[in-house]
Amino acid sequence: DAKTTQPPSMDCAEGRAANLPCNHSTISGNEYVYWYRQIHSQGPQYIIHGLKNNETNEMASLIITEDRKSSTLILPHATLRDTAVYYCIVRTTVVGGGTSYGKLTFGQGTILTVHP
């Protein structure tokens, strides 16, 4: 089961910042928070990930609370092309097949609609 809770939908005006919240109260100390988005009929697109420090890249910023129980993805200047389903995922570590690897379990995500 997914370890995250997100609002099912959000709206944002074009040009404004979109702030997408995510709760992950059962996250463990070594588990990363990942954000992906999926535009209709395409494969999920990696956005950003973080452990405990805030992170920023060319697409977005990730703010993680000090207790790591929640985070917020910020799209600083939303455009119409940012309309998508946004998934917040806690990556768990699995040991199997002679190795350990990260496993992404997708929840239902947040449908972000950016309007003119």
Q: Name the site residues for other proteins (rule: CB under 8 A).
A: 32, 34, 36, 41-46, 49, 87, 94, 96-99, 101-109
- Give the CA distances from residue 99 to residues 78, 94, 95, in Å, rounded to whole numbers and listed in that order: 40, 8, 6
CB of 106 to other proteins, least distance (A): 4
CA distance 98 to 86: 32
CA distance 90 to 101: 13
Pick between residue 7 and residue 102 the one whose CB is nearest to other proteins. Answer: 102
CB of 101 to other proteins, least distance (A): 5
Pick between residue 14 and residue 38 the one whose CB is nearest to other proteins. Answer: 38
Which residues are 32's β-sheet partners?
A: 91
Pick between residue 14 and residue 92 the one whose CB is nearest to other proteins. Answer: 92
